[in-house]
Amino acid sequence: MKLELGNFYVKDIVFGTRTAYADGILTINKEEALAVVKEDEHITEADFVIVKPGDMVRLVPVKEAIEPRHRIGGGSIFPGVTGDLMQAGNGRTLALKDCSVLVVGKHWGGFQDGLIDMGGEGAKYTYYSQLKNIVLVADTDEEFERYEQQKKNHALRWAGMRLAEYIGSCVKDMEPETIEIYELAPVTKRTVEENTLPNVVLVLQPQSQMEELGYNDLVYGWDCNRMVPTFMHPNEVLDGAMISGSFMPCSSKWSTYDFQNFPMIKRLYQEHGKTINFLGVIMSNLNVALEQKNRAALFVAQMAKSLGADAAVVAEEGYGNPDADFIACIVALEDAGVKTIGLTNECTGRDGASQPLVTLDAKADAIVSCGNVSEMIILPPMETVIGELQALARDGLSGGWSNDAILGPSVREDGSIIMENNAMFCGDQVVGWSTKTMVEF
């Protein structure tokens, strides 16, 4: 498979009479974009706001992030989701870089939603404060889940994907400013030089715990709860085969933007043919029952060994119950003779003193920590709030609360907030671009 990602680098975003890109300026026709959003009759209110790094703006509840793209030669940028099923990872896809489409609820949030500060102290906690963002602020008539803590957010998330396709299409007839090429030969047809290097496989465990459909990550539109570990080409992940789900404490979540730009995949590509032979991706899952977890771990280990893997990197989306899948997978790989590194965040409590993972094993002796989900964060009032600040306290966001006997409410009367890192939108970045570092005292 050979994937060409043609990049256009967005320096600024403005509203105008037509949706177009020129000289680094992305112009959006607001009325046309709203018409795309409102193709779903469940969208009752919608508007757009443009936010940029350094703006004193707080966004909450944030539900999704997507990179605007266009697939050359036809087909949707999310096969099996926004268009017909087709192979992802081949050909040329155009991408508008340094920007994203953010989807924000106008009122109602839930367990899986988060917060972004574009400026001030809070900006350092999430990657998305570094991007120019087209923010879709919308509400729906999905009354059946309005008061549910866990929401599918279907209408809003799908509206964001349609919007990303609409915006991305403005560069369809243009030559990209740079081109990234991602190409791997079939595993059995690598060069002699590649085959002399250590064989490395990346194991991804996307969120798939919910047995009811509609909450989990999707692979080509297929709910990951219904899959068994599957060997995938890394290009498929980078090219729209994976869609973020709506269930996961937000700092642990992998957004669709994260899948489209997966830094760990790109880093392994950089080392391919130099220090490693990058075999590809084993897409696993996160299960509920212990037997299911152990079965998936055995599948992964067998697949890695059959591929000839000498080493593996395992990354989990989430914490708590998924820790059992994560550790079981690492142990099974180690037992198969595959040296394994794990990527995960931790839940060590607000004081940092609790056991970091629900389950541990002596064989899991090489783990990269991406931060503590329970770390307390206190932020001052923000000049502008997009969405509804009270959602952080009222609607069960995983890092917020309506009232605490000692700390009081997450949202204080002056607009300042106290919350756990849990509520930072995709804040831990297990995918590989976390800005956090470890300090030893």
What would the pLDDT profile of 210-239 be if each residue is shown by its tens digit?
Answer: 999 999 999 999 999 999 999 999 999 999
Q: Is residue 324 part of a domain?
A: yes
Label residue 133 by pLDDT band (50, 70, 90).
very high
Counting the structural domains of the chain, the total is 1
Supply the pLDDT for residue 57.
98
Provide mean pLDDT across the span 151-164. Answer: 97
Which pLDDT tens digit goes with each residue over 244-302? 999 889 999 999 999 999 999 999 999 999 999 999 999 999 998 899 999 999 999 99
Supply the pLDDT for residue 189.
96
Label residue 159 by pLDDT band (50, 70, 90).
very high
Provide mean pLDDT across the span 295-314. Answer: 97
Whether 441 shows a pLDDT value over 90: the answer reads no
Q: Is residue 433 part of a domain?
A: no
Supply the pLDDT for residue 15.
98
Q: Is residue 162 part of a domain?
A: yes
Q: Is residue 336 part of a domain?
A: yes
Whether 53 shows a pLDDT value over 90: the answer reads yes
Supply the pLDDT for residue 434.
76
Q: What is the Cα–Cα distance from 231 to 307, expressed in whole angstroms?
A: 10
3-state helix, strand, coil in the chain (%, to 5): 25, 30, 45
- In degrees, rounded to 5, the angle at the alpha carbon of residue 297 between the alpha carbons of residues 296 and 302 is 100
- In degrees, rounded to 5, the angle at the alpha carbon of residue 322 between the alpha carbons of residues 316 and 328 is 85
In this structure, the strands spanning 367-372 and 339-346 are parallel
Whether 196 shows a pLDDT value over 90: the answer reads yes
Q: Residues for the chain: how many in total?
A: 441
Label residue 129 by pLDDT band (50, 70, 90).
very high
Q: Is residue 187 part of a domain?
A: yes
Which pLDDT tens digit goes with each residue over 54-70? 999 999 999 999 999 99
Q: Is residue 431 part of a domain?
A: no
Q: pTM of the full predicted structure? A: 0.96
Q: What is the Cα–Cα distance from 81 to 316, expressed in whole angstroms?
A: 23
Which pLDDT tens digit goes with each residue over 329-345? 999 999 999 999 999 99
Q: Is residue 435 part of a domain?
A: no
Q: What is the Cα–Cα distance from 65 to 215, expressed in whole angstroms?
A: 16
Say whether 122 sits in a helix, a strand or coil.
helix
User: 212 is in which domain, residue-wise?
Assistant: 2-423
Q: Is residue 185 part of a domain?
A: yes
For residue 250, the 8-state DSSP code is G
The answer to whether the beta carbons of residues 312 and 334 sit under 8 Å apart is no
- Look up residue 408 and give its amino acid: G
